[in-house]
Amino acid sequence: MGALILVEHYEGVASEAALEMAALARKLGLSVTALICAGSEESALRIAAQIDADTVLGVASSMLINYAPSTYLKCLTTAIEATSPDLVLLSYSTAGIDLAPHSAIATGRQMVGYVTELVAEDGGFTATSLVYGGKLLAKSSLPAPGLAVIMPGAIKADGATPGCHSVEMLHVDFDGLRGVRAIESLTPETEGVDLSKAERILCVGRAVGGTDNLAEAEAVARHLGAEIAGSRPVIDAGWLPKARQVGKSGMKVKPKLYLMAGVSGAPEHLEGMQESELIIALNSDESAPIFAKAHYGAVCDMFEVLPALAERLN
């Protein structure tokens, strides 16, 4: 049995999610075929050297320099038809959300999403998925051949050794293909902050209520020598700059300490911080999903705890 994984990459570096999916396929006892869509064969070769795969399929075209749903979908469906894998693995990412349902329909496969665990059983697979914003877990059967969308961080890729350094180029016909066209790539402003390198982070959620209430969290962060960060609602409200967002559409962080105040723990946020060494959560909702992920948690009013904690640290 074999698996086909789509390798997402940026500036010549394979995504961590791609390495995790290759490790998951190995754990399932499947051979690994990696699909790399790139602007040139040279680029595909550099990325292939980073992946633990038995076979690497490459598609090289100037149309693939930047991600576009239509071109990547054509590559993916062509690769599925060419290899007939028992399992297709995509990451729960912007590209994965675009491509998974369309490729499942195009190739006649059943699909399961939000997957945190996958087990091979009875010639198919049993998947555990996040539902209701991560508040519940659901088990479902996925017959082979099937397609699964994997939550980043669901499996560790530590210790994997890249095992394939050659690429078999796959011809894909893009003639007449229409769709989204990338005009340019913009690098977001960092404002001198790189949360990915921070050893301690204090993250606030929507419950902080506004910029007027940030001072208490910032005081704790200052005493801890931590960077202040926010969940997406905090950033969308303009209470903190984009450079301080943690989560799927923000930064992926792995600090030694991740202290959260008023963060519920939606799957999109967990994707960005679940590999933190020590996770401590403060939330007034005892059913908040974050308590299932945190190493330590307290059901409390953050506005009572943070000032007391700042005073103690001081």
List pLDDT tens digits, range 1-12.
899 999 999 889
| pLDDT tens for the 314 residues of the chain, in order | 899 999 999 889 999 899 999 999 999 999 999 999 999 999 999 999 999 999 999 999 999 998 999 999 999 999 999 999 999 999 999 899 999 999 999 999 999 999 999 999 888 999 999 888 777 889 999 999 999 999 887 787 766 677 666 789 999 999 888 877 778 877 766 677 888 889 999 999 999 999 988 999 999 999 999 999 999 999 999 999 988 999 887 888 999 999 999 999 988 898 889 889 999 999 999 999 999 999 999 999 999 999 999 999 98
Q: Cα–Cα distance between 257 and 273 in angstroms, integer? A: 10
In a domain, 187, yes or no: no
Q: Are strands 110-121 and 87-91 parallel, antiparallel or unpaired?
A: unpaired
Residues 275 and 213 in one domain: yes
Range of the domain at 121: 2-169
Is-contact 290 263, C-beta < 8 A?
A: yes
CATH number (domain holding residue 264): 3.40.50.1220
Helix 214-224 with 302-313: angle, nearest 10 deg: 30
The 8-class DSSP code of residue 121 comes to: E
Residues 28 and 134 in one domain: yes
Residues 120 and 226 in one domain: no
Is-contact 126 142, C-beta < 8 A?
A: yes
The owner of tokens 């049995």 is 1
Alpha-carbon distances of 135 from 140, 237, 251, 285, rounded to whole Å? 17, 24, 23, 12
In a domain, 182, yes or no: no
Instruction: Locate the DSSP E strands across the chain.
Output: 2-6, 9-10, 13-14, 31-38, 55-60, 87-91, 110-121, 124-131, 136-142, 146-150, 168-169, 200-204, 227-230, 257-261, 278-283, 296-299
Residues 71 and 158 in one domain: yes
Q: Cα–Cα distance between 87 and 95 in angstroms, integer? A: 18
The owner of tokens 């690098």 is 187
Residues 249 and 101 in one domain: no
Q: Cα–Cα distance between 235 and 308 in angstroms, integer? A: 26
In three-state secondary structure terms, 44 is: helix
Residues 300 and 240 in one domain: yes
Count of the separate structural domains present in the chain? 2
Can you list the alpha helix ranges (DSSP code H) found in the chain? 16-27, 41-48, 69-83, 94-107, 214-224, 232-236, 267-273, 302-313
In a domain, 134, yes or no: yes
Residues 161 and 212 in one domain: no
Residues 220 and 144 in one domain: no
| Chain segment 98-153, per-residue pLDDT in tens | 999 999 999 999 999 999 999 998 889 999 998 887 778 899 999 999 999 998 87
Domain final position from 152, 169, 186: 169
> Taking the chain, what is the end-to-end CA distance rounded to the nearest angstrom?
59
At 110 the pLDDT is 97
In a domain, 188, yes or no: no
Alpha-carbon distances of 148 from 43, 64, 116, 129, 288, rounded to whole Å? 27, 24, 10, 10, 26
At 165 the pLDDT is 64
Domain final position from 118, 152, 169: 169
Can you list the alpha helix ranges (DSSP code H) found in 8-112? 16-27, 41-48, 69-83, 94-107
In a domain, 136, yes or no: yes
In a domain, 186, yes or no: no
Residues 164 and 249 in one domain: no
Per-chain mean pLDDT for the chain:
91
Residues 291 and 203 in one domain: yes
Residues 144 and 259 in one domain: no
Residues 231 and 278 in one domain: yes
In a domain, 283, yes or no: yes
In a domain, 93, yes or no: yes
CATH number (domain holding residue 61): 3.40.50.620
Dihedral angle over CA of 270, 274, 279, 281, nearest 10: 10
At 159 the pLDDT is 65
The 8-class DSSP code of residue 176 comes to: T
